[in-house]
């Protein structure tokens, strides 16, 4: 509890390769927690509505080219620019579920030639470490069978395979690896148990930091 006697909110993150159902599941979890009386908001990265987010959006939709390091740093900067907001929300006792976070940042950038995991981690070092990371896992074949990838940058099978390997090397003890090869309803049921558990067991006042 803080000075005002408010327990801080829980920081939860959804991660996974494309087509694993992250966004659908995250939004349903937010509704579920709110209906259970646990005030929760949805956030996402990249947050395309800011100035930096606008550049990221152009890059992802192939309207603009950028050096691999420059775009990596912009994805990080997009998290740092929203950190004050995240801190404010958590401090007020509200939980956050974020669709993608720094793990996406590293897993995607480090899947490019000549980009190392260590270099990529640098620019997110110091951000709050989530209480819970729900990693929705699908093999690239399972993901592909869900109707193919879209047309944004990174949406190809070869790239997604490298991303998935990178994700697995970023796991720490806040991660739950969840088999996403189930119906939307079944998967939601599994995830609800995890988020309730996380919200009910938050104790420390201060969140630890990455990495």
CB 43 within 8 Å of CB 98: yes
166 binds ligand FDM (CB under 6 A): no
53 binds ligand FDM (CB under 6 A): no
DSSP E strand boundaries for 166-208 = 175-179
- Stretch of residues binding ligand FDM (CB under 6 A), selected from 35-43, 100-108, 187-195, 201-209: 100-108
Q: How far is the CB of 200 from ligand FDM (least distance, A)?
A: 28
60 binds ligand FDM (CB under 6 A): yes
Q: What is the 3-state secondary structure (H, E, C) of 123-144?
A: CCCCCECCCEEEEEECCHHHHH
Q: How far is the CB of 66 from ligand FDM (least distance, A)?
A: 12
Sign of the torsion formed by the C-alpha atoms of 75, 78, 80 and 86: negative
**CA atoms of 193 and 159, how far apart (whole Å):** 32
105 binds ligand FDM (CB under 6 A): yes
Interface with ligand FDM: number of residues (CB under 6 A): 9
Residues forming contacts to ligand FDM in the complex (CB under 6 A) are: 45-46, 60, 75, 100, 104-105, 108, 154
């Amino acid at each position: 509890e803080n000075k005002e006697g408010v327990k801080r909110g829980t920081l939860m993150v959804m991660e996974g390769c494309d087509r694993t159902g992250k966004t659908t599941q995250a939004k349903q979890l937010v509704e579920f927690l709110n209906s259970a009386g646990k005030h929760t908001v949805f956030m996402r990265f990249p947050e395309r509505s800011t100035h930096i987010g606008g550049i990221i959006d152009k890059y992802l939709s192939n309207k603009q080219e950028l050096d691999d390091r420059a775009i990596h740093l912009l994805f990080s900067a997009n998290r740092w620019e929203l950190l004050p907001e995240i801190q404010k929300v958590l401090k007020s006792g509200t939980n956050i579920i974020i669709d993608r976070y720094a793990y996406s940042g590293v897993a995607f950038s480090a899947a490019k030639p000549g980009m190392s995991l260590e270099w990529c981690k640098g620019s997110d070092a110091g951000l709050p470490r989530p209480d819970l990371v729900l990693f929705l896992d699908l093999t690239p074949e399972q993901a592909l069978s869900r109707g193919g990838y879209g047309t944004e940058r990174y949406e190809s099978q070869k790239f997604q395979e490298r991303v998935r390997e990178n994700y697995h090397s970023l796991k720490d003890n806040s991660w739950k690896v969840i088999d996403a090869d189930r119906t939307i309803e079944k998967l939601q049921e599994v995830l609800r148990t995890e988020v309730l558990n996380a919200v009910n067991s938050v104790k420390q006042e201060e969140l630890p930091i990455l990495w």
